[in-house]
Structure 1
Amino acid sequence: MFTWNFGSVYKTIRRSKGLTQKKVCGGFLSMTTLSKIENHHVVPSVEHMIFLLDQLNMSVEEFHYICNLYQPSNRQKIFSQYQKVAQKPKIAEIQRLIDSCDDYLSKQHDVPVEHLRSVLKIVLFMRQHGPNKKDREFEQLTEKIYHYLDKQDTWYMSDLKLLQTILYAFPVKNLPHLTKRIFESLEKYKDFHNIKEAQVSILTNVSTIYFYNQLLKDCEKITLRTLELAKKLKRYDSLGFAQVRLGICRGDDALIENGLAILRLTDEQDLLTMLEDEVKKYR
């Protein structure tokens, strides 16, 4: 994706940082090779591209953004919009994003965007019909994603994010197997940068599945992990959420009130309303 402008853009950034070819290359790459790359005489190998970007302390995503004249690509726009839609999914916004995926995929092949489109269709169906209604297309979509994930030896972060979005669509009988694999995958990523935010999100979704199926002991175990992570991150929304959820599981009114108080103080109104409804229904 960078073959047409990697070299010239790289040269511009390198020079703007005041780095010479000699400084960038060190003992790993010859200046002759870098010169050929910067002048579009050779295409950098993956190894060389990663090395060169590391010397600029720049991610592939940021470099791609710069290559696109400091604008997100259509692909980046889709995933960026998905992050917004995932927080507060509205039917019209989900449909618009599905249309964007369709338009993008009509022009090029992209497996992650195909998976995202399937997830969005599942979420749209559940928003329109509720979590209990299913049709053949819905089942085919969930089966397609489940089989894609289940055949993998290891789940990576993108797989976990894909999975957590549609956990609600799977039968309860699959939860123990899915939960075990989720924990095994998260353990492998325990030292990965910025992993804890993702862990909180994933664990919250898993605990919610158990909670809504009244499997409170399992919910309690997972919520305790969420609580500890929220404390380390000083994520007060997650801290309040975990305390309320744990309080319901344990029948502890003091813990519930502590959690609700945190959410009131931090003005987390949507989350507060949802949890107050949960307390009325399940406590």
Structure 2
Amino acid sequence: MSNQSIGMLLREFRQSRNLTMKEVCDTDLSIAQLSKFERGVSELTINKLLVILDRLNITIEEFFHAEKEFELSEFEQLINDMKEHYIQRDIEKIIELRDAQLKKYEERDIKFFELNAIMLSALIKDLDKDRYEENEREVKLIDHLMEVDLWCNYEIVLFANSLPLFTIESLVMLTNEMINNTQYYRVIGKHRTMTIQTLTNVILVLLEKGETVHSKKFHDILEELLETDQYLLYEKNVSKYLGGFYHYVTGDEDRGTQLMEESIHTFDILDRKQLADNFRMHLDNIQMQK
């Protein structure tokens, strides 16, 4: 994110609203200052930027979401590449990404590159346990997540993609950290959705391991979060499936199967065939294990 890209975007928003620089400026911000900022030759304090956005009737979330159209951050590009290779189950490409992050860590001594490499190792373990090399680096990931008081986008993504690395004890501990340390940002739709989706994955992992106490606790929290947003229909349907899975694991197989099949049927009705097939395969697998 550069001053030039932010300034250009600000000018684009201003001009799209047919506002002159004079209409945007006030006693604390001169036309000359705004002109220089829009051309990328000077900086503005965050306070002045917020004042301008307020006059343009643009939220800071909307502004920085639009800013992403100008340039992707290095981490965002890494995540895009990682997702593409994971969907294709291309372990060699993921190993290349991991090794590149480790090389950057060795050259620049910035801990986030090492954390990125650990996250990529988790995906390697998920795809092929035989290709995963266990080492002491995992502790550094846990330490980082435990030390951060406010989880931002980076921490949620890091945790969500590293679930295969954790023991049940560590998974429960870190999930509690995520729940407690993302409250400040839940007003931001993206963060709330990411937290909810990560929580659903955690519950699924715990139930697959037969851990019912904490999975029930987290599912209750998930239901509370879903009550605050009526539009998260996919997440609500997945939550219904998880509720059925819980009943199944705790011995009420008939009720559990009914809820899971109803959830799958909902995906069929919505013409979400891939999702329906994925959950149907999951249900078939757990029934075969009985």
TM-score by length of 2: 0.74
Tell me, in whole angstroms, the C-alpha distance in 1 between the residues paired with 2:115 and 2:27: 41
Tell me, in whole angstroms, the C-alpha distance in 1 between the residues paired with 2:196 and 2:122: 23
The residue that corresponds to 1:43 in the other structure is 43
Pairing partner for 1:185 from 181, 185, 199: 181
Residue 173, structure 1, aligned to residue 174, structure 2: no
The residue that corresponds to 1:270 in the other structure is 278
Residues 1:102 and 1:24: Cα distance change in structure 2 (over 3 Å): farther
Residues 1:225 and 1:40: Cα distance change in structure 2 (over 3 Å): closer
TM-superposed CA distance for 1:124, in Å, is: 0.9
TM-superposed CA distance for 1:34, in Å, is: 0.8
Pairing partner for 2:69 from 62, 65, 78: 65
TM-score by length of 1: 0.76
| CA RMSD across the alignment | 3.6
Tell me, in whole angstroms, the C-alpha distance in 2 between the residues paired with 1:51 and 1:99: 44
TM-superposed CA distance for 1:159, in Å, is: 1.2
Report SS of the residue matched to 1:59: helix
Structure 1 unaligned runs (5+)?
none
Quick one: which amino acid aligns to residue 219 of structure 1?
S
Q: Does the CA-based 8 Å contact 1:14-1:20 persist in structure 2?
A: yes
Aligned ranges 1:1-283 → 2 under 5 Å: 1-8=1-8, 10-26=10-26, 29-53=29-53, 55=56, 57=58, 58-66=62-70, 68=71, 72=72, 75-83=75-83, 90-92=90-92, 94-95=94-95, 97-98=97-98, 112=112, 114-129=114-129, 135=133, 138-227=134-223, 229=225, 232=230, 233-235=232-234, 237-252=237-252, 253-266=254-267, 267=273, 268-281=276-289
Equivalent residues, number: 274
Report SS of the residue matched to 2:121: helix
Residues 1:4 and 1:196: Cα distance change in structure 2 (over 3 Å): closer
Quick one: which amino acid aligns to residue 60 of structure 1?
F
Residues 1:90 and 1:222: Cα distance change in structure 2 (over 3 Å): farther
Tell me, in whole angstroms, the C-alpha distance in 2 between the residues paired with 1:256 and 1:228: 23
Quick one: which amino acid aligns to residue 199 of structure 1?
T
Structure 2 unaligned runs (5+)?
268-272
